[in-house]
């Protein structure tokens, strides 16, 4: 019998990716509690429009008011890179787009580059920072269009799986 060993680094990468997936799913389900619970007590987020929230409670309060006002568009994301910086810190970078509920097209105006920093607290990884930066690619329309096409393929695939 051959045993397959899973390295600590690859296990940590899988944890980081699962946290990110839970974050995106929490947003898409408009679940402010589940979203904020993924953060460390002192974690921070920077939204697409530059809005910041610091600490689990502030993040929860901010998202609760956002979700109470309207149903935001849903994220479609593609993880591009995960790095374990040390055993207790990881970094994930993703590209993301959004499609409004019931829409089948990515809105290129909401494309973003997302960064997630996670830290281990008492043996559990939590988000220290989530940043959602507009992917404007000023002066490089071909790069913006390529990203939109890539995200559209991801959305189309997810819609086929449903």
Give per-residue pLDDT as tens, 112-148. Answer: 999 999 999 888 999 999 999 999 899 999 999 999 9
Is the per-residue pLDDT at 2 higher than 80? no
Distance (Å, whole) CA 73 – CA 155 = 13
Please say if the pLDDT value at position 151 is more than 80.
yes
In the predicted model, is pLDDT for residue 155 greater than 60? yes
Q: Which CATH number fits domain 8-161: 3.40.50.2000, 3.40.50.300, 3.40.50.720, 3.10.450.50?
A: 3.10.450.50
Q: Are 38 and 26 in contact (CB under 8 A)?
A: yes
pLDDT of residue 102: 79
Supply the pLDDT for residue 1: 47
Question: What are the start-end ranges of the E strands in the chain?
Answer: 39-46, 52-54, 74-86, 89-99, 112-121, 124-134
CB 45 within 8 A of CB 130: yes
Q: Where are the domains of the chain?
A: 8-161
d(CA 148, CA 81): 18
| pLDDT at position 16 over 90 | yes
Residue 69: which pLDDT band, with cuts at 50, 70 and 90? confident
**What's the pLDDT at 159?**
82
Top pLDDT among 123 and 58 is at 58
pTM here is: 0.91
């Amino acid at each position: 019998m051959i045993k397959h060993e899973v390295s600590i680094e690859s296990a940590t990468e899988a944890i980081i990716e699962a946290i990110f997936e839970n974050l995106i799913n929490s947003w898409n389900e408009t679940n402010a509690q589940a979203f904020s619970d993924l953060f460390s007590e002192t974690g921070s987020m920077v939204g697409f429009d530059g809005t910041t929230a610091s600490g689990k409670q502030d993040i929860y309060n901010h998202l609760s008011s956002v979700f109470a006002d309207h149903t935001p568009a849903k994220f479609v994301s593609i993880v591009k890179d995960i790095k374990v910086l040390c055993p207790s810190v990881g970094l994930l970078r993703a590209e993301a787009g959004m499609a409004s509920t019931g829409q089948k097209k990515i809105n290129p105006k909401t494309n973003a580059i997302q960064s997630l920093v996670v830290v281990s607290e008492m043996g559990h990884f939590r988000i220290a920072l989530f940043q959602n930066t507009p992917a404007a690619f000023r002066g490089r329309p071909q790069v913006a269009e390529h990203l939109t096409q890539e995200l559209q393929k991801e959305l189309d695939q997810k819609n086929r799986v449903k």
